[in-house]
Each structure stands twice: as C-alpha cells, then as structure tokens.
Amino acid sequence: MPSSYLQLIIVLLVGLIATIAAGHALLHKRDPTAAAGWMTVCLLFPVAGPILYLMLGFNRIQMRARRLGTRRAPVTEGEPANLEVPEAFALQARISHAVTNLEITAGNAVTPLRDGEEAYPAMLDAINGARRHVYLATYIFDSNTAGQAFAQALQQAHERGVDVRILLDGAGEWYSWPRICRRLSRAGLRVTRFLPPQLIPPRLLLNLRNHRKILIVDGHTGFTGGMNIGDRHYASQGGARDIQFRITGPVVDQMEAVFLQDWDYATGELSERPPMDQTPDSGSALCRTVVTGPNEDLGRLTTILVGAAAAARERLVIVTPYFLPPRELIGALQAAAVRGTRVDIVLPAHNNLPFVHWATQNMLWELVEWGVNVYYRSGQFIHSKLFMIDYQYSQIGSANIDPRSLRLNFELTIEIYDRQLTADLTDEVDDMIAASRRMTLAALNGRSLPVRLRDAFCWLFTPYL
C-alpha cells in the first residue's frame, strides 16, 4: 500500500476517534461548560484529546443493579413513625430518604476517634476480636509501620478462620511502595482492587476512584471517616489531623451492604450476606448511610447538602480539606448567611494539594461577600470532613466538598441525628476556629496580580480537581 494511502487512513482514523470522543462528551456531560471544553480538546488535539478524555472525562459507570443493589424501589412517604427525628429536621429526613431510598436506623452509638493515635488501636482491637468476618475498604493502605500492624492483624484473623476481605482502590494503592497488597496476597488473604488502571483492555481511568473508608467487623461494629491506613495519620509524628468514627448499631448493616456491593463489582462475584444475629441497639443516635458515586448515585450528596443548608437556622459548620463546592451549594450557603444563620467554614491554611488551595482562594469572595465566615487553620494539615447543623445534625464520612468527591469518586457518608455528638463536634470546631485566621474581602482582594492569575487559572480546572 502506498505510504500516502496509509497516511490518509491514519488521518481519517484519528479524525474519526476524535469525533466519536467529542460526540460522547456532547451526549453524556451534564455540565454544558464541561461538554464544550472536552469537545474542543478532542477536536483541536485529535490524538492527545481523546486519550485525555479516556483518562479524565469518563466520569460515570453503570454498575450492574443485580450486584450493587442500585435498582431503586418506589420511595415511601416520610420516615417510619416510631423514629423521632427532630421536628426542625423532618423535611431534611424526607429529602434524604427520597434521595437514598434508605430508612433511618435507631439505636446507634457513634464515637469520635481522633488521629491515628486513637483510631488505629480501636480498629486493630476490633480486628483482633473478630470471630466471623472482617471487611476492609480503603483508598490508601501504606506499607509503613501502621500498615504493617494492620496487615499482621488481618493475617492473624485469617489464620484463625475469619473471613477477611480487603478492597483497595486501584489508583490509591500506588501511593505507597512497596505495595501492601503483595504481602497481603502472600499471606493468603482475599485482596482485590477497585478499577485498577490497565493498558489491555484500555482502562486508564484516573477518576472513578473508590475513596470510601470502611471497616466492618462481624456485622456489628463499623469504622468510617476520612482516615486511610498509614503513618501519615499519626499527629504526634507530624501527620494529618483527622477524625475516624466507631459505629455500633443497626446502621452498620447498611455500611456492610455497601462494602459487599463494591466487592462484588470489583471481583465479579455475587456475595451472599453472611448469617447475622439482629444487630442490637447500642445508643441513641439516628443514622443513615448516604452512598454516592459516578453511577446511578451521581448527585445524591449534593442534593442532601443543599437541603440541609436550607434547613439550618442557627448555625452551619463545615470542616473539609478540599473545598470547591458546586453552584447549588454556594447559593444555599449564601442564602443561609443572608437569613441570619451563622455559617462557619474551616479549611487548612497549608494544603497537601496546593492547586486545590489556589483554586479555592479564587472563589471564596463569593461566600465572604455574603457573610459566610471562612477560616484558615494553621499548623498541621486538617484532613477531617465534618458537616453540622444547629447542634443536632451531622454528616461524617469520606467525602470532601469538591467535584472529586461529589461527582468523580465513590464515597460513603453517614448522616446522624444526635444532639450530644453534634454539640461535642461543634465545640471541637470552635477550638479550631479560635486558632485560625478569618479570611476577609480585603485579604482576598489584596492578593497580588500574579497570585490572583495563578488562583484563577487553577480554578478553571475545578471540575477535574
């Protein structure tokens, strides 16, 4: 075949692939700006554009309903009558019920565990006491001292006949070298990876990460929050500050179902739920899981956050390491501040992802201008994720307030109706605020032109940060 014909075929093939990628963005992107951006990239850069779109632009997957239980049943009206949700949050409870199709569970106990110094011993004690099964899902599982302690506990549980399953994110596992999965596999443990990047068949996805942190022991004790597994969460060693939560009670059954759904998708199996005794009541908290991800669950958490912000009358508190809220939530926070609700947002002054910090600085004026209080906490990196309203309602879990958590990652959040827990967490945030610097319009407007240009440039990539 003459070389000119071969070149023509290559050009036509490249053009066809670029056109298909642009068409896919047009049909599947919900945000018109994102759709236009990806179409432009694919058509202007017909080789690099489709590759980038394959890696970063495919933000939804269809999980098989039979495996993941995502086939939604008709939503019933309201919550069960025997659960006394605070009257001020009755509407919020109905919103969450409609969005998640899960009922609130009563009789739960939620215990905060601060930093690796408190969280890891409690988690290891639970694993060491396991009799039937241990399910662990984490984004990062380091192979350092903390990681080796968990690996040893999991191996010992396996050796005494406990069903141990470990789900690692296919991208997050590369944060540590050597990868811990090698040791776990050599010990005979059941380890699988969630959507690992691979060349054949092509699956170079950098999005669609499983960011959930779940530890379930024997179906009655669960742990979740923002902590991965590794020395990076030892505050005494200069690591990130964070809060993990130990949960007992009926909501653990919902958490376990989430793990098994993810496990089935990653392995191609169809797991049978292990036989369990009825989970006993252990506290007074009303809890419900909120499962979110770039599949059928897309947008669930944003809807619940906006509804909760609308319900706030006295105070709304957010603590998050990464803050790039969607337009709907920005509007809800502005409205809350305007109607007289105290809105406090606590962010780390020094971020491990500086480009996210810079992008955030570019949009903060929209909130500060309307009376929202934004604080930068100095010192060690704050990795906690908290959302509280009126000293009665809390959200805890793995999700940040950014596009990656709200649209691109699989996350687990627990919403909690409990006065004492929320009041205690709010008091803890007040201690953070006392040691923080409040941002003002003057400070934001006083950034130098080069800094403002840097921040604005990073903000352009908000949908992908």
Examine the fold and report which residue of 253, 284, 315 is the final residue of a domain before the chain moves on.
284
Structure tokens at 213: 């942190």
What's the pLDDT score for residue 117?
Answer: 97
Query: Are 151 and 248 found together in one domain?
Result: yes
What's the pLDDT score for residue 76?
Answer: 42
Domain assignment of residue 69, yes or no: no
Q: What 8-state DSSP symbol labels residue 407?
A: I
Q: How far apart are CA 66 and CA 70, in angstroms?
A: 8
CATH of the domain at 203: 3.30.870.10
Query: Are 322 and 443 found together in one domain?
Result: yes
Q: In this structure, are residues 17 and 46 in contact, taking their beta carbons and an 8 Å threshold?
A: yes
What's the pLDDT score for residue 200?
Answer: 54
What is the domain count for the chain?
A: 3
Query: Are 425 and 457 found together in one domain?
Result: yes
Q: In this structure, are residues 177 and 143 in contact, taking their beta carbons and an 8 Å threshold?
A: yes
Q: Which residues constitute the domain of residue 240?
A: 108-284
Query: Are 275 and 316 found together in one domain?
Result: no
What's the pLDDT score for residue 413?
Answer: 97
Query: Are 251 and 161 found together in one domain?
Result: yes
Query: Are 124 and 271 found together in one domain?
Result: yes
pLDDT along the chain (465 residues), means of 10: 71 82 79 76 82 68 43 42 73 89 93 97 97 96 94 96 95 86 90 79 67 96 96 94 96 95 89 67 90 77 93 96 95 96 96 94 96 95 96 96 89 96 96 95 95 93 73
Domain assignment of residue 206, yes or no: yes
Closest CA to 93 of 339, 286, 299, 335: 286
Residue type, 259: F
Examine the fold and report which residue of 14, 39, 54 is the final residue of a domain before the chain moves on.
54
- E strands, 178-270, where? 190-194, 209-210, 214-217, 221-225, 243-248
Query: Are 19 and 132 found together in one domain?
Result: no
Q: In this structure, are residues 400 and 301 in contact, taking their beta carbons and an 8 Å threshold?
A: no
Domain assignment of residue 67, yes or no: no
Domain assignment of residue 68, yes or no: no
Handedness of CA 232, 254, 259, 325 (dihedral sign): negative
What's the pLDDT score for residue 11?
Answer: 75
What's the pLDDT score for residue 464?
Answer: 67
Domain assignment of residue 101, yes or no: no
Calculate ∠ Cα 53-56-60, nearest 5°: 95
What's the pLDDT score for residue 54?
Answer: 73
Domain assignment of residue 358, yes or no: yes
Query: Are 348 and 225 found together in one domain?
Result: no
Residue type, 200: I
Q: How far apart are CA 21 and CA 53, in angstroms?
A: 7
Domain assignment of residue 441, yes or no: yes
- pTM score, two decimals? 0.86
Query: Are 311 and 260 found together in one domain?
Result: no
Q: How far apart are CA 169 and CA 139, in angstroms?
A: 5
Residue 273 burial by CB count (10 A; 0-12/13-18/19+): exposed, middle or buried? exposed
Q: How far apart are CA 130 and CA 148, in angstroms?
A: 18
Q: How far apart are CA 189 and CA 169, in angstroms?
A: 16
Place of tokens 């850069």: 45
Query: Are 14 and 150 found together in one domain?
Result: no
Place of tokens 């991208």: 171
Query: Are 128 and 276 found together in one domain?
Result: yes
Query: Are 30 and 146 found together in one domain?
Result: no
Element (H, E) at 68: helix 65-68
Q: How far apart are CA 77 and CA 95, in angstroms?
A: 10
Domain assignment of residue 391, yes or no: yes
Residues 6+ apart with CB under 8 A from 16: none
